[in-house]
Amino acid sequence: MLLELSNIRSGAVLDYSFGRETDEALEIPIQGLADPRAFVTIDGVPADRMDRQFTGTARLTKRINEVTVRASSQYGELSQTITLVWDKKAFKRYNFALDDNSFFLTEIARERPSSLFDHFYLKTLQNINRKYGTCFTLNCFYRDDHHGFEMKDFPDCYKAEFEDNSNWLRLAFHSYSEFPGRPYQHATAEKLAADYDLIASEIIRFAGEKTLIAPTNIHWAMQPPNTFRVLRERGMRVNTASFIIEGERDATGRQTRYCDVNLFYEKDVSEYVATHLVFYDRFHDFFLFPDALICNLTPLKKIESEIDCLFIHNPYYNTAFALLSHEQYSYPTYHHYLPDHLQRIEHACRHATESGYKPVFFTHGIFGNTAWGL
């Protein structure tokens, strides 16, 4: 007996570009292989056969759909049920997250400017928002390990200003502090929950509930799967990571690739996310997405071409993409300071806008698409 799907896998997220979309459904092609003598159905509808090949159509009518393919013959019956997500009424969009935030909190708390946006970092982000509408999520540390500052000491006098700008500027949990690296790789669910709730409570205290948002990644993106529920219960819907990292070239000059910073997902999922950009984990109700472009690692002159190559011209999925960078590279006092770091961020936002992509918060709906009312 044989039954194998050849053009789609469980966990795929699909939009109008994968089939024929109406207000009621997304019809997508299903292809595969089965024993030539088998009778094949797709959700009960007979498939067309040619030798071992079969073709048919699946009709997706919900956000999360289960499609069942059955092959029956005199030798018995095989079936395969896959989970597919309909990204209904999809549009081109991008998310921008800035990791490792603590320096701006430290400096504002000590200098007490009359406005948050008197600080150069937030002022630059505000200017980018005014030009391109970019929505920024600042993933925060509780403790600034470089200056000994803790979030509990940030004043609440800017709360109204934070809330007034919460339509584009949000704060989120990232980690208790920058060091040690990979802080949750072997952490318990209780440790992760305690750190998350500590930071969330402080953000609400000084920036208001409207400013708090669930993150799209945690520090170093490595945590045991048995802790995923902690983040999901707190509203996290998207988990971004590297998934596949390119290493040194081997003796033949071939680029080596390995799985790391991938939330402990198996290699086939990591490879799929790295190439197809999006995946739905039905076991944990998480969407996975790669942080394929990190501004502090990408020279200014390569920002545009990298976005084009990784996202806009991606042959599998190009409806949404995630941009990422890290706060500390904006500061002259930081030992790895990049003088053009904020310029890189603006350049990425400008190119996304000029390419027809709209700014969103990935936490909302399906990567910022709220057509399903979530």
Picking from 81, 2, 72, the residue whose alpha carbon sits closest to that of residue 38 is 72
Q: Residue 295's CB: how many other CB atoms inside 10 A? A: 27
149 & 127 share domain: yes
Q: What is the pLDDT of residue 245?
A: 87
Specify the higher pLDDT residue, 374 or 147: 147
The verdict on 169 and 236 lying in the same domain is yes
Is 365 a member of any domain? no
Same domain? For 152 and 50 the reply is no
User: What is the C-alpha separation between 133 and 63, in angstroms, rounded?
Assistant: 28
Same domain, 47 and 100: no
Confidence at residue 96, expressed as pLDDT on a 0 to 100 scale: 98
What integer pLDDT is reported at residue 249 of this predicted model? 67
Task: Examine the domain organization and report whether 32 and 176 are in the same domain.
Answer: no
> Does residue 374 register a pLDDT over 90?
no
Q: Which residues of 218-237 are buried (b: 16+ CB within 10 A; e: fewer)?
A: bbbbbbeeebbebbeebebb
* Contact in structure between 170 and 95 (CB atoms under 8 Å): no
- Asked whether residue 169 carries a pLDDT value surpassing 70, the answer given is yes
Cα distances from 287 to residues 131, 154, 273, 324, in angstroms, run: 30, 33, 10, 17
- CATH code of residue 113: 3.20.20.370
User: Does pLDDT of 17 surpass 70?
Assistant: yes
> Is position 268 within any domain?
yes
Q: Are residues 107 and 225 in the same domain?
A: yes
* pLDDT above 90 coverage of the chain, percent: 94
Q: Which residues fall within 8 angstroms of residue 256, CB to CB, at 6 or more apart?
A: 246, 247, 248, 249, 250
Query: In Å, how far are 188, 198, 288 from 266, measured between CA atoms?
Result: 21, 31, 13
Q: What pLDDT sits at residue 253?
A: 67
Which of these three, 86, 110, 125, is where a domain ends? 86
- Omega within 30 of 0 (cis) for the link into 225: no
* pLDDT at position 295: 98
Q: From CA 99, how far away is CA 124, in angstroms rounded?
A: 16
Strand partners, 311: none
Condensed to tens digits (0 to 9), the pLDDT of residues 51-71 reads 999 999 999 999 999 999 999
For 325-358, how does the pLDDT look when each residue is reduced to its tens digit (9 = 90+)?
999 999 999 999 999 999 999 999 999 999 999 9
Which residue segment(s) compose the domain that 190 sits in? 93-359
What average pLDDT is seen over the chain?
96
- Range with the poorest average pLDDT among 160-174, 191-205, 246-260, 308-322: 246-260
One domain, residues 82 and 108: no
Q: Dihedral sign, CA of 229, 170, 345, 299?
A: negative
Query: Do 246 and 101 share a structural domain?
Result: yes
Percent of the chain with pLDDT over 70: 98
Q: 197 with 316, same domain?
A: yes
Residue 314 in this model has a pLDDT that exceeds 80: yes
Give, as one character, the DSSP assignment of residue 253.
S
Q: What distance in Å separates the CA atoms of residue 45 and residue 57, rounded to the nearest whole number?
A: 8
The answer for residues whose C-beta is within 8 angstroms of residue 208's C-beta and 6 or more apart is 159, 160, 162, 163, 166
pLDDT at 198 over 90: yes
Same domain membership, residue 137 and residue 194: yes
Structural domain ending residue among the three candidates 40, 69, 86: 86
pLDDT in tens, 230-264: 999 999 999 999 999 887 766 676 777 889 999 99
